[in-house]
Amino acid sequence: MSFWIASSPHNHIQGATPKIMRLVILATLPAIIAQCYFFGWGNLIQIAIAVSVALLSEMVFLAIRDKNIKAQITDGSAILTGLLLGLSVPSMAPWWITVIGSIFAICVVKQLYGGLGFNLFNPAMAAYVLLLVSFPLQMTSWQPANELLTQSLSFLDHLWLVFTGFTGDGYSAEQIRMNIDGITMATPLDTLKTDLTLGLTVFESFEKPVFGDFIGLGWEWVNVGFLLGGLFLIYKKAIDWVIPASFLFGLFFFSFMSYSISPDSSASTLFHWLSGGTMLAAFFILTDPVSAATSRKGRIFFALMAALIVFLIRKFGGYPDAIAFSVLLCNMSVPLIDQYTRPRTYGHQRGE
Amino acid sequence: MTERNEYKELTWQGLWKNNPGLVQLLGLCPLLAVTTTLTNALGLGVATLLVLVCSNATVSLIRHLVPKEVRIPIFVLIIAAFVTCVQLIMNAYTFGLYQSLGIFLPLIVTNCAIIGRAEAYASKNPIKQASFDGFMMGLGFMLVLAALGAIREILGQGTLFDGADLLLGDWASVLRIEVFHFDSKFLLAILPPGAFIAMGFLIAAKNAIDAKLEKKQAKQTETKTIERVRVNFDA
């Protein structure tokens, strides 16, 4: 008989990655339901396209690389990437947008860097930036909330719209986005940005129907859905609470500062929190265990920096929302952040 | 080494093994900025090729007269003189291309591929070999430019030789090929990040081909030489 001395860690949790991935996928449900309720079926179609293309390209690439396909497909990371991309593209975007995005996310951003665990950038956000930079027209064709539309859209209408560019009645995406006066309706963030350049105050801009009673018809509930999902993930300990907390605090800090300096030309913190992709970024994108910073101090800095970039681009930049850009910029600086925020190893003094 | 072998080696080095674009990664700035269309890429490639041949020849011609301590400024002066000539010629005969290349034409002066060749090869070798080296290096650089330009033009606009008449005269407008037509351009291919990504893929392809060749060669030598191995247990 021989003693077998195992080295630490002694307490194993089997299959951690698939479990976390499944939890995260589950946690997007409230937001998906909210999107469906307020914006119709479009996003379900996009998610279906994105997930299936992501899975397919992952399988093809793994086959080329001679990897164990079954083990890496069932961990759910490709599904999650597809899901996040499908959630973030506009629901009326043509099908090839989502296909190009999913292929780029999996093949270039994830697999070419070495697969899960080696990707420098968040695959879904890198694909989103690729699409936004390449196809600005299609990537801004956001659908207004259902109750603002002049004609109601059925599931089949959405399907035709995504695959042929026209609904069953022959309306194009542009026509659907028009209100009764023939003016194209934009997202709350975009509307506010345009109105501020036109000389309106925030208060005047908020009178428009796009904002609804509160701060963005439909958008607020989608963000609340992501918030609920994120709180569930924190409760289940699937993600670290530090990143979302510091990201939201950062956004609060910067927007509050600007609001107190010039309330007429700056939106409130709540508007920043509950519009665009803020909550998606806070709980689902920035918390990506691969591309985020590792130490606690580093994570605080990482999330604050993301908040600063989001705020700066939303307020002064050319794009209405900036989640994807800021996530990529922060991903890029993660090696540097990690270098300067190394935790002290036990038994060593600082600066040794 | 016989002279013929030397030329063969220079060709191999310039076009493939030591290619200034793919291996030395020199002159990346014009390489990435100008290659939005095949025509632009060819225009800059030809200009660089001309400057490279002329400067290599001149540097080699005066290599015994130049004191070692001041050789770099003298090389730069020679290169700048030839760049100015090429720039004036292009201004006169291909004005449209001259305008679309813009600042990157005078910036050939700072292309490290040129001064690198002057320093590393031309200043130590006779004029014939030096001009041949310049020609091959320039050709290698031009081929990479053209490949990158073609990839980006096809992906970005779906055409090839768009605006070839700027480079070759009016008859060349028939060269324009519409490979396929989209409703919306793939802007990324035309923007700078697309250039970096396409360049990465080109380098990866070159490395993959090299790895494959090496494997093949290793296999061939393995099968050819069968050696008898003697194991001496006493030693």
How confident is the model at residue A124, as a pLDDT?
A: 93
Tens of pLDDT along A5-41? 777 767 666 557 888 888 999 999 999 999 988 888 8
Mean pLDDT of A204-225: 82
Of A130, A137, A138, the CB nearest to B188: A130
d(CA B55, CA A351): 53
Q: Quickly count: other Cβ atoms within 10 Å of residue A340's Cβ.
A: 10
Residues 33-92 (B) with a CB less than 8 A from some CB of A: none
The answer to whether the beta carbons of residues B15 and B141 sit under 8 Å apart is: no
Buried b (16+ CB within 10 A) or exposed e, B222-234: eeeeeeeeeeeee
Tens of pLDDT along A107-159? 999 998 888 888 899 999 999 999 998 888 888 878 888 777 777 778 888 88
- Chain A interface with B: residues with Cβ < 8 Å: 108, 130, 133-138
- pTM: predicted TM-score of the whole model, two decimal places: 0.85
Mean pLDDT of A204-218: 78
Report the gap between the CA of A81 and the closest CA in chain B (Å): 21
Cβ–Cβ of B193/A108 closer than 8 Å?
A: no
Cβ–Cβ of B187/A135 closer than 8 Å?
A: yes
Nearest chain B residue (CA) to A104 = B197
Give the burial class of B203: count Cβ atoms within 10 A of its Cβ; 0-12 exposed, 13-18 middle, 19 or more buried: middle
Reference A92, options A175, A22, A182; nearest CA is: A175
Q: What is the CA radius of gyration of chain B?
A: 22
B191 at the A interface (CB within 8 A)? yes
Buried b (16+ CB within 10 A) or exposed e, B153-181: bbbbbbbbbbbbbbbbeeeeeebeeeeee
Mean pLDDT of B169-175: 73
Of A215-229, A311-325, B177-191, the range with the lowest mean pLDDT is: B177-191
d(CA A127, CA A109): 8
Listed in sequence order, the residues at least 6 apart from A231 whose beta carbon sits closer than 8 Å to its beta carbon are none
Tell me the pLDDT of chain A averaged across its residues.
86
How confident is the model at residue A245, as a pLDDT?
A: 94
Cβ–Cβ of B191/A108 closer than 8 Å?
A: no
Cβ–Cβ of A134/B186 closer than 8 Å?
A: yes
Interface pTM, i.e. ipTM: 0.77
**HEC profile of A127-186:** HHHHHHHHCHHHHCCCCCCHHHCCCCCCHHHHHHHHHHCECCCCCEHHHHCECCCCCECC
Report the gap between the CA of B231 and the closest CA in chain A (Å): 38
- Write out chain B residues lying below 8 Å of A138, CB-based: 184
Cβ–Cβ of B188/A133 closer than 8 Å?
A: yes
Of A148-157, A187-196, A309-318, B71-80, the range with the lowest mean pLDDT is: A148-157
